[in-house]
Structure 1
């Protein structure tokens, strides 16, 4: 999950939705990491709430929450996958489990949502271990999990028959943060979190260039400052507003957004 603990949230806007909120398109299959709570859990809920929800929603977790278990028990299209995102050798098994379900249709959308915000945040308290753990979870894991999953994502793009890029066809969203922006860093601190997420952005950008001929849409997204356990009571938006807005943004993304760094409400962030 990804959260902002500074005042650098000037471009987070609250959107009001009616009960009739639906998308014109949704991916046939989506995999979301870090779904036991917070943004990951709410993304599962919001995909389920669509007028035409995905046929397959894969939700990974390290520790199963009661709420996530309930979603899995009550919805046949939700597949719960136990995974520690730092256990890179386990990725192959996860890919196989997904492949057994999606078959030749492939995986349309991967959302790398799992993340880590270390407790030690200022210059006086940050440790080398904080930096190592944050890089492992926030940059190394999303890069290599995407690499392992990519053949299934590319397969989905080819199977769709669609022209142009879209997240309903084939895409990767690396969940980043506005505080990864070097240009917008006016508050300092958050060394491990900022640095690891800036590194995630760079790995996303390189991947978008290396894989630009595959037709897969790849980008980084800031989910906003969200009211969660880690986001704290001063955050600006609920997980519901965050994820509803994000899904609406997903629908509008196309070739022009490949390799970009966006907020959940479809506004750009300077690198």
Structure 2
């Protein structure tokens, strides 16, 4: 059964974990008109073998794009490559999934240095900021090309940015989990990503571009660890179902993978 997502869809951080599963399920469940641009830092590396296998499994459905979210020149080159491939079309959905976590969890204050803070901020916040800024013309074009559904003007089928955030970005909920995972760089970067989401939601709403942050749950990945209760398959299934139903009321919100709001 096809999902309610379509058009040109770009996903970052797709060589493993949640990003790889996003590409897989999008390829499986979207209609024939959808095309996925799967971005990763080293497309030819052995770590991207599973991603390359997906392009063979779904011929003509996936294009791999080289993208390092910590490198402005790499972001610019990736945007130009996508523009050339899309041509006169627009970009309907950007999923900012790529993120790093330094140092290793629990990342207490004593183990965290300036470089950790800056490296994580650069990838997790500045990267999504630049990507949205550079892709804005293509997102605007998509919003202009596709007529809105009844009632709501915004949707992930028309033009949207989804920033993958986290429950531990919540300032209100910080005391509930801080003792087991201090994670200064990761927490603060994702809180900043939430503000970026909020700012872009205000900035882009005049163009009918939806911007929303989503927490994927605690997922059993290299970053999430083996104790995490959610599989990538279940997390991504829930997130894509949530994305399919987003509308005007969800713009600028932080939601969990099932669509429930998370306090700032």
1:149 aligned to 101, 118, 135, which one? 135
1:255 aligned to 225, 229, 248, which one? 248
2:111 aligned to 97, 121, 125, which one? 125
Which whole-Å CA distance do the structure 2 matches of 1:165 and 1:251 have between them? 11
Which whole-Å CA distance do the structure 2 matches of 1:128 and 1:257 have between them? 35
Q: TM-score, normalised by structure 1?
A: 0.89
- Structure 2: stretches of 5+ with no match in the other structure: none
1:51 Cα deviation (Å)?
5.2
1:213 Cα deviation (Å)?
0.5
Is 1:226–2:219 an aligned residue pair? yes
Pick closer, same or farther for the CA change 1:42–1:54 going to 2, 3 Å. farther
1:176 is matched with which residue? 165
Higher relative contact order (Cα pairs below 8 Å, separated by 6+ residues): 1
Counting helix residues as a fraction of each chain, which structure ranks higher? Answer: 2
Equivalences for residues 1-271 of structure 1 within 5 A: 22-23=2-3, 25-50=4-29, 52=31, 55-64=34-43, 65-74=48-57, 75-120=59-104, 121-163=107-149, 164-186=153-175, 187-188=177-178, 189-271=182-264
Secondary structure of the 2:221 match is coil
Which whole-Å CA distance do the structure 2 matches of 1:246 and 1:253 have between them? 11
Which whole-Å CA distance do the structure 2 matches of 1:127 and 1:151 have between them? 37
Which whole-Å CA distance do the structure 1 matches of 2:118 and 2:125 have between them? 10
Secondary structure of the 1:104 match is coil
Q: TM-score, normalised by structure 2?
A: 0.91
1:110 Cα deviation (Å)?
0.3
Secondary structure of the 1:57 match is strand
Which whole-Å CA distance do the structure 2 matches of 1:208 and 1:221 have between them? 14
Q: Which moved more, 1:53-62 or 1:178-187?
A: 53-62
Instruction: Give the paired residue count.
Output: 250
Cα RMSD of the aligned pairs, angstroms, is 1.3
1:54 Cα deviation (Å)?
5.1
Pick closer, same or farther for the CA change 1:178–1:53 going to 2, 3 Å. farther
